[in-house]
Amino acid sequence: MKTISSVKFKKIIFIGMLILTLIASSGCTGESSPAENAEHENPAEDAGTATGTDELTESAEKTVTDGFGRTVTIPGNVESVVCSGAGSLRYLVYLQSQDLVVGVDSLEKQEAEIEGRPYALANPQLKDYPLIGEFRGKDDPEKVIDIGPQLVLKAGTTGQAPAANAAEADSLQEKTGVPVISFPYGSLNNEERKAEMYSSLQIMGEAVGKEERAEEVIAYIDATMEDLKKRTADIPESERKNVYVGGVSSAGAHGIISTEPAYAPFLWVNANNVAAGMGADHADIAKEALVDWDPEYIFIDIGTLQLGNEGAIGELKTDSSLTGLSAVKNGNVYGVIPYNFYSTNYESVLANAYFVGKVLYPDRFEDIDPEAKADEIYTFFVGKPVFSDLNGQYKDTGFKQIPL
């Protein structure tokens, strides 16, 4: 019995050792070492996709071609900008990106009795930002460096050659080390200039991640212009009113002889601008020409009030060569909101067009309350219904008949 027990015991030990050997063998062939695991824990690298610091930095950048053909590399997610040049900050507000601003030029910080820029009235906080330099694009590179934006958005100087605008952008970029995207401001007075404006909005939208908003703004402008035009498109030429706009602001306030031959509100409501033959964005006419034209209606850009003595309005009241004009004698003189104030406030141009249409062709605009329509337009562009605030700057003479 002892011998049998010993044999059984030895067999049990043998079988146990065999099982342990098999378990150990299975562990060696079925599990990887920590070092081996480390070699395969990143499938992106196994697939040939680089994930190093340099590559991450590169993927966080993008290249944008600006409005003057310059190729500029900018951060993929821009969080801080400064706007240089007349109108650049206005476009940024149109794109609902004013929260990105970290510095402004000298004009934005001015405390003025009269403020003719709707975007500034809607965003009074802009005055509190650090100074980047003088207005009209006269930037101080050292101030820009101190502020440290990720991007400069620079509106080109209107009337300056594209090459000169590009050179200014290159110079600022070189001096600051901050990428500069520059673009023409454009206008709505003809198709070529409108294409420039739309392209500039798209470029800025691409730069700050507001591509969809840029397209919304463009679509809104197109739809508004189309609505204005179709209301009066079938009015025969013989029944279209002869009109003139005077006191037009241009780098400051002006008198009655200051006009715009391609005044967009007249174009959009199919009125005959008596100054259309002057062939320029802005023109100073002879008073004798105005007397000869003798328009049925005169619209006064109420920015003229900044001159004192009521500007163009005072001239119509006191200048003997003008008091005999048909529009003056018949009470057909009306105030429109200034639209040229540190470049063009397009929202004011569109709002003016509805008021002009209402005055000239009331049956075609019977559904329009010009002031309510203006606030709808201002709210879309700058985020707030600022008509009352804006008109109050000019003694509430906008969108009213002016007594003479």
Residues 90 and 143 reside in one and the same domain: yes
Do 171 and 312 lie in a common domain?
Answer: no
For residue 66, being part of any structural domain is answered with: yes
Tell whether 241 and 390 lie within a shared domain. yes
- Tell me, rounded to whole angstroms, the distance of Cα 393 from its chain centroid: 23
Q: Mean pLDDT of residues grouped by 10 in the chain (404 residues)?
A: 41 45 43 38 38 49 96 96 96 98 94 88 95 92 97 93 96 97 92 95 98 98 97 95 93 88 94 87 91 97 90 94 94 95 94 98 97 98 97 94 94
Domain assignment present for residue 25? The answer is no
Amino acid identity, position 247: G
**Residue 354 within a domain:** yes
Q: Which among 216, 247, 274 is the end of a domain?
A: 216
Assess contact for 326 and 294: CB atoms under 8 A. Answer: yes
303, 337: one domain: yes
Task: Report the C-alpha gap between 263 and 338 in whole angstroms.
Answer: 12
> Is 383 part of a structural domain of the chain?
yes
Instruction: Say what the pLDDT of residue 31 is.
Output: 40
Model pLDDT, residue 279: 72
CATH code (residue 92): 3.40.50.1980
Q: Which residues, at least 6 apart from 323, have a Cβ–Cβ distance to it below 8 Å?
A: 316, 317, 329
Residue 280: the pLDDT is 65
Residues 283 and 377 in one domain: yes
State whether 203 and 263 are in the same domain. no
Domain with 212 in it? 62-216
Any domain includes 6: no
Specify the pLDDT at position 39. 38
Query: Please, what's the largest Cα pairwise distance for the chain?
Result: 147
Instruction: Give the closest residue to 123 by CA, choosing from 144, 137, 113, 109.
Output: 109
In a domain, 50, yes or no: no
From 183, 216, 249, the end of a domain falls on 216
Q: Is the pTM of this model over 0.75?
A: yes
- Do 154 and 248 share a domain, yes or no? no
The answer to whether position 39 is within a domain reads no
Other CB atoms within a 10 A radius of the CB of residue 198 amount to: 18
| 193 and 243 both lie in a single domain | no
Does residue 137 sit in the same domain as residue 270?
no
Domain identity same for 271 and 154: no
Q: How far is it, in rounded angstroms, from Cα 320 to Cα 390?
A: 32
How many structural domains comprise the chain? 2
Report residue 116 as tokens.
């003719």
Q: Is 71 left (phi over 0), alpha (psi -120 to 50) or beta?
A: beta
Single residue among 153, 183, 216 that ends a domain in this structure: 216
Q: Please give the full DSSP string across 71-132, using - where no structure is assigned.
A: EEEEESS---EEEESTTHHHHHHHTT-GGGEEEEEGGGG---S----HHHHH-GGGGGSPEE
Q: Are residues 85 and 212 in the same domain?
A: yes
Is residue 129 domain-shared with residue 242, that is, in the same domain?
Answer: no
In a domain, 329, yes or no: yes
